[in-house]
Amino acid sequence: MPLSDCAPMAVAKEMGIFRKHHLKVRLSRELGWATVRDKIFYGDLDGAQCISGIAFSLAMGAGNVRRKVAVPMVLNLHGNAITLSMDLDPVLIGTGEGLLSYLTHSWKKDRPFTMAAPHRFSSHHILLNTWLQRQGITSPDLVEIIFLPPPLMPRHLKAGHIDGYCVGEPWNSASILTGEAWCPAVSADISHGHPEKVLLLDGGFTDSRREDAVALTAALLEACKLCDEPDFRSEMIQILARKEYTGAPVEVLANSMGQPFNSGGGTKNMTPFHLFHGPQVNPPTLDKASWTLAGLRSLGLVPKGTSAILSEIYRNDLYEEAIAAGAPA
């Protein structure tokens, strides 16, 4: 996906890390998460950098689309933000505490306050819902949430079709640096340490090519470690700027890394905006799986009593095999 946190995939490809692990990998850039889900389901993709909610969606057969899948590692933490149109005054809204009063007393558009997220089963939907509830905004009469592919969000904001969105970078920075938007909160403010993208593998691939699944996990762990090295940051941004990855301008990608982060309402040092590697980041723990599952339950997207499937999806055995093979923990 054309997002800043596709960095481990892009870096593994461009820096020869896949090849080092005796893997021949073809990366396929997709527009939206629904496409990724469908391609996993139909077997067009063996694996993907993916929002973790799609693992639950496929494993539980949401929307009558069921497939066995595996998550052998988490690719990163954080990296998302809330972005609002400049039509909503940052002074009045603050970090969100003024939003309810604004919508109640000052909203003049002939449609509801409209926010976008990338997918119904995404961390962004969970984070956006959490942020709105903290501002006391619980009534569907006050806000409408729609779903759009990440690259389309800035143009819909500019056209006035939506009033804001929660998405991964660089699509927050893309609107902020044009002066069309500002950021009241990043995802670490809403849920510090939240898991973001995972490596999602088709269950058939994992069963029939376990050695390759372990090698792929090891390669991406090595790439994640490189992505977190400060001295590599500039080269990583140059890689991400290529059209086959994000195609975003270098200055937008630099801002998206949060060092520093121009929020449209001031400059902040958001280190670490993205976390790619470490013992608290990459292991596919049940705690990380539970964060996503609890968030999806809060949205009414999955039923209660589904915790038993966590260990079937989040495969610590594959992760541990990759570590035992020499991948950096």
Domains and CATH numbers, the chain: 4-77+195-324 (3.40.190.10), 78-190 (3.40.190.10)
Per the structure block, which two tokens stand in for 175? 């609107």
Does residue 319 contact residue 284 with C-beta atoms inside 8 Å?
yes
Q: How confident is the model over 289-314, as a mean pLDDT?
A: 88
- Three-state secondary-structure class, residue 259: coil
- Give 187-201 pLDDT, tens digit per residue: 999 999 999 999 999
pLDDT at 308: 66
Does residue 115 contact residue 166 with C-beta atoms inside 8 Å?
yes
Q: What values do phi and psi take at 145, rounded to 5?
A: -110, 125
Q: Which of 8, 153, 186, 225 is nearest to 82 (CA)?
A: 186
**Lowest-confidence segment of 142-146, 201-205, 223-227, 298-302 by average pLDDT:** 298-302
267 pLDDT more than 90: no
pLDDT at 320: 97
- Give 73-84 pLDDT, tens digit per residue: 999 999 999 999
304 pLDDT more than 90: no
Give the chain's mean pLDDT: 95
Per the structure block, which two tokens stand in for 218? 């090891």
b vs e for 20-32, b when ≥16 Cβ sit within 10 Å of the residue's Cβ? Answer: ebeeebebeebeb
Q: Specify the DSSP element, H or E, that contains 221.
A: helix 210-227
Sequence-distant (6+) residues with CB within 8 A of 327 are 217, 218, 219, 221, 222
62 pLDDT more than 90: no
Q: DSSP secondary-structure letter at 308? A: G
Q: Output helix, strand, coil percentages for the chain, rounded to the nearest 5.
A: 45, 15, 40
